[in-house]
Structure 1
């Protein structure tokens, strides 16, 4: 799982969380966003990307944040590229390490 610190703001309130986290979760095959720790539970007040394939594109994640009244500070091109690379690496790994990967190893072994 990748995790990078970014800033998330509350639309129209001037509040921001400079320690928000964005990343890619390989088991769920989704980008995720966590911001604004809840005062009583330590759970994030904003937590997107908790379901399988919830956000397969970064833009989808940003639109969901906006629909919940939050916004992300613009991601640097370097960070956006890194997140896309994290997703691609996880996709390659799941094919090699899963059941299909085991089958391919078995099929490629000399008899």
Structure 2
């Protein structure tokens, strides 16, 4: 799993310590931003399901539809995310009992 710091904005708010990355086991890009005071609950957490966001554009559209944006991404972060995805392209999907349970839970 890769993790990079980006700024996520929402109307008049900004989270300069938001996290974007690629989750190889779930085969999805993810975005986390605006934690509460305890740091346990996030106002924005996208990319928690298998193949939920297979492109950065799809992740951006989902964030935008919820009133958030993280664009433009810094060029070095974009390059790293693309490299992370490419490095995992040939990886076989997980197919053990935990993966089956996850697929079952997500189908409900």
Q: How many pairs does the alignment contain?
A: 95
What are the ranges of 5 or more consecutive residues in structure 1 without an aligned counterpart? 100-111
Structure 1 segments (4+ residues) deviating >4 Å: none
Which structure has greater helix proportion?
1
In 2, the alpha carbon distance for the partners of 1:24 and 1:68 equals 20
| Contact 2:9-2:69 within 8 A present in 1 as well | yes
1:77 match: 75
Q: Please report the TM-score for the alignment, with normalisation by the length of structure 1.
A: 0.77
CA separation of 1:98 and 1:68: change in aligned 2, threshold 3 A: closer
2:18 is paired with a residue whose SS is strand
Shift of 1:41: 6.2
2:7 match: 7
Q: CA RMSD in A?
A: 1.9
Deviation per CA, 1:20-53: give whole Å up to 9, x if none: 0000000000000000002356122100000000
What are the ranges of 5 or more consecutive residues in structure 2 without an aligned counterpart? 96-108
| Contact 2:25-2:94 within 8 A present in 1 as well | no
**Residues 1:28 and 2:58 are matched in the alignment:** no
In 2, the alpha carbon distance for the partners of 1:24 and 1:84 equals 9
1:53 is paired with a residue whose SS is coil
